[in-house]
Structure formats: C-alpha cells, structure tokens
Copies of this chain bind each other. A is one copy, B any other.
Amino acid sequence: MTKIKATNITWHESHVARKDREELLHQKGFTIWFTGLPSSGKSTTAFTLEHELTKRGQLAYVLDGDNIRHGLNKNLGFTAEDREENIRRIGEVAKLFADAGFITMTSFISPYCKDRDLARQIHENNGLDFIEVFIDTPIGLCEKRDPKGLFAKARKGEIKGFTGVDDPYEVPLKPELILDTGKKSPQELVVDLIKFLTKRRLIPAPIAK
C-alpha cells in the first residue's frame, strides 16, 4: 500500500508550463485552420487527418459545427456580427487546445480574411503555430455534392446569406497550404497534408517498418 503524504505535494501558484505538457505528450500543440466553401470537404479532410494522427499515437481534436454550433456558439446566428464572434470564439478555443498540447483542427467555412487573420493573431501572439489550409474546391463541385441540399435552398432564396450564393467567400491570400480537391483524391490530399506537417517538424516523421 502506498500512502500519499501531504509533504510530497508542492504548492503551486501558476499553470503547468506548456513545455512540460508537451514533454509528457511527446508532441507540440498547434492549430490547423481549414477554410473553404460549404461542401468543399473541410470536415472530411479534418476527420481523416484526426483518425490518421490518432492511429500514429498523436493527440488530435477537431472543432466543427457539431461540437461548437450546438454548444459554445449556440447563442449566435448568421449576421455579420455573429459570424465574426463565431470565428473569434473558435479561434480562442483552438488556442486553448493548442496551448494544452493538442493538434487542433477547426472545420468552419470562415469566409472572411479579417476573421481568419484574427484567429491567426490569437495563436501567434501566444507563440503557437497556425496553419491555414484552404480547401480549394470549385464551387460547381461543392454545389453538385451539396449533401444537405443547402445550395439548392439558397438558390431558391429559402436560405439567406449562404456563403458562395448570396454571401461572399474571401479566398485566403497567404494560406500555408492549398488543397485542390478537384485534381487529387481525398486520400492523396491527406498524404500531402501529412508531408507538409512532417516537413515543418510539427509532427514526427513516421517510423520505417
């Protein structure tokens, strides 16, 4: 039997240092910010990378509409002001996850340069890497996919302020990576992503088998 002795415990007045948590996890926290039109393939790319990283023993987490819009941001709508606050909060939460050591992925249309730049600034001001990945799927292809029939509704005017139809999507000016889903298979794109992250030393090179 082990007795926990109070004398073994040291009193602390501040957070565990980021580097100590990174040492424990054998990885560095950072954020991959996916941006692109509705139905461009952001979430599927993020989920595939999340599964692939988990398989390699790395800790990754995807923030997406599913766990954010129904929770933290459920009191926000789709006005310009609310869209801005939506992305700001996501940027702040991603920063917390990256600070905690996670490979954090965000999967949101995030149509405006200004808002994405703010998310980047929140990270970089805290010494955290921010990788903006533009999922560059031609709008025709996004509209053809349209699994929830949202483009169709927006074209009919049943949905207002839909990105790509009656609300603008501002193409990233200096993203770290552009994934062209029109030219490569989804699997090939994730391979490209992993190569990019490895080259940047954000994830370790795979061990030869």
A residues lining the B interface (CB < 8 Å): 1-2, 4-7, 9-16, 20-21, 24-25, 43-44, 47-48, 50-52, 54, 57, 59-64, 66-67, 71-72, 75, 85, 89, 92-93, 95-97, 99-102, 122, 185-188, 190-191, 194-195, 205-209
Is B95's CB under 8 angstroms from A11's CB? no
Is A47's CB under 8 angstroms from B15's CB? yes
Is A44's CB under 8 angstroms from B12's CB? yes
CA distance A187 to B25 in the complex (A): 27
CA distance A206 to B8 in the complex (A): 13
Is A4's CB under 8 angstroms from B194's CB? yes
Known: A4-B195, A10-B48, A13-B47. 17 other contacts (CB 8 A): A6-B191, A11-B48, A11-B187, A12-B44, A12-B47, A12-B50, A13-B43, A15-B62, A15-B64, A15-B66, A21-B59, A67-B99, A71-B92, A71-B122, A72-B93, A72-B96, A89-B89
Is B190's CB under 8 angstroms from A9's CB? yes
Query: A51-B10, A54-B21, A186-B11 in contact; A97/B100 too (CB < 8 A)?
Result: yes
Instruction: Give the oligomeric copy count.
Output: 2
User: Could you list 27 examples of A-B contacts with CB < 8 Å?
Assistant: A1-B208, A2-B206, A2-B209, A4-B195, A4-B206, A6-B185, A6-B191, A9-B190, A9-B191, A12-B44, A12-B47, A12-B51, A13-B43, A13-B44, A15-B67, A16-B50, A16-B60, A24-B54, A24-B57, A24-B59, A63-B96, A71-B92, A71-B95, A72-B89, A72-B93, A96-B97, A97-B97
CA distance A188 to B61 in the complex (A): 35
Is A2's CB under 8 angstroms from B44's CB? no
